[in-house]
Amino acid sequence: MTVCTSGIEAADPDVLIDVHDVTFEYPAVQGSRVRALESVSLRIMRGEYLAIIGPNGSGKSTLAKCLNALLIPDSGTVTVAGMSTSNPGHVWAIRQMVGMVFQNPDNQLVATTVEEDVAFGPENIGVPTQEIRQRVKEALRSVGLEGMENRAPHRLSGGQKQRVAIAGILAMRPECIVLDEPTAMLDPVGRREVLEAVRRLNRVEGKTVVHVTHFMSEAAAADRVAVMAAGKVVMQGAPSEVFSQAERLQQIDLDAPIGARIAEELRKSGISIPLHVLTVDDLADYISANALTAHRPSANRATELSTNTATARRSDVYRH
Ligand SMILES: Nc1ncnc2c1ncn2[C@@H]1O[C@H](COP(=O)(O)OP(=O)(O)O)[C@@H](O)[C@H]1O
Ligand SMILES: [Mg+2]
How do the pLDDT tens digits run along the chain, 320 residues long?
A: 444 444 445 568 899 999 999 999 998 877 788 899 999 999 999 999 999 999 999 999 999 999 999 999 999 999 999 999 999 999 999 999 999 999 999 999 989 999 999 999 999 999 999 999 999 999 999 999 999 999 999 999 999 999 999 999 999 999 999 999 999 999 999 999 999 999 999 999 999 999 999 999 999 999 999 999 999 999 999 999 999 888 899 999 998 888 888 888 888 899 888 888 988 888 888 888 875 555 544 544 444 444 444 444 444 433 33
Q: What is the per-residue pLDDT for 119?
A: 97
Ligand 2: centre distance to CA 58 (Å): 8
Crossing angle of helices 114-124 and 129-142, rounded to 10°: 120
Q: Would you say the CB of residue 37 lies under 6 angstroms from ligand 1?
A: no
Which residues in 53-64 are b (16+ Cβ under 10 Å) and which e?
bbeeebbbbbbb
Ligand 1, from 34, 56, 74, 181: best to mutate by most atoms within 8 Å of Cβ?
34
Q: What is the per-residue pLDDT for 10?
A: 53
| Alpha carbon distance 42, 19 (integer Å) | 5
In angstroms, the Cα distances linking 18 to 79, 106, 159 are 5, 31, 31
Q: What is the per-residue pLDDT for 133?
A: 96
Q: Would you say the CB of residue 62 lies under 6 angstroms from ligand 1?
A: yes
Burial class (CB in 10 A: 0-12, 13-18, 19+), 130: exposed
CB 202, CB 49: distance < 8 Å: yes
CA nearest to 135, candidates 123, 152, 151? 123
Ligand in nearest proximity to the CA of 36: 1
CB under 8 A, 24+ apart: contacts of 66-71: 66/19, 66/22, 66/24, 66/37, 67/17, 67/19, 67/98, 67/100, 67/176, 67/178, 67/210, 68/94, 68/95, 68/97, 68/98, 68/99, 68/100, 68/178, 69/94, 69/95, 70/100, 71/24
Q: Would you say the CB of residue 26 lies under 6 angstroms from ligand 1?
A: yes
- Strand-pairing partners, residue 176, are 98, 208
Q: Would you say the CB of residue 92 lies under 6 angstroms from ligand 1?
A: no
Ligand 2: centre distance to CA 180 (Å): 7
- Strand-pairing partners, residue 53, are 227
Ligand 2: centre distance to CA 31 (Å): 23
Residues having C-beta closer than 5 Å to ion ligand 2: 60-61
CA nearest to 224, candidates 14, 22, 45? 45
The identity of residue 164, as a single letter, is V
Ligand in nearest proximity to the CA of 182: 2
Q: What is the per-residue pLDDT for 236?
A: 97
| Alpha carbon distance 93, 83 (integer Å) | 9
Q: What is the per-residue pLDDT for 309?
A: 47
Q: What is the per-residue pLDDT for 289?
A: 85
Ligand in nearest proximity to the CA of 184: 2
Ligand in nearest proximity to the CA of 33: 1
Ligand 1: centre distance to CA 320 (Å): 21
Ligand 2: centre distance to CA 91 (Å): 22
| Alpha carbon distance 54, 249 (integer Å) | 9
Ligand 2: centre distance to CA 103 (Å): 9
Which residue, by CA, sits nearest to atom 13 of ligand 1?
36
| Alpha carbon distance 253, 54 (integer Å) | 8
pTM: 0.87
What region, left, alpha or beta, does residue 81 occupy, with left being phi > 0 and alpha being psi -120 to 50 degrees? left
CA nearest to 109, candidates 120, 93, 97, 122? 120
- Strand-pairing partners, residue 235, are 227
| Alpha carbon distance 87, 45 (integer Å) | 22
Distance from the Cα of residue 314 to its chain's centroid: 23
- Strand-pairing partners, residue 30, are none
Give the atom of ligand 1 at the shortest distance from the alpha carbon of 58. Answer: 22
Ligand 1, from 19, 25, 62, 234: best to mutate by most atoms within 8 Å of Cβ?
62
Q: What is the per-residue pLDDT for 292?
A: 56
Q: Helices (H) and strands (E) in the chain — how many of each? A: 13, 12
Q: What is the per-residue pLDDT for 247?
A: 86
Q: Would you say the CB of residue 253 lies under 6 angstroms from ligand 1?
A: no
Half-sphere exposure of 112 (CA within 13 A, CB side): 0
Q: What is the per-residue pLDDT for 255?
A: 87
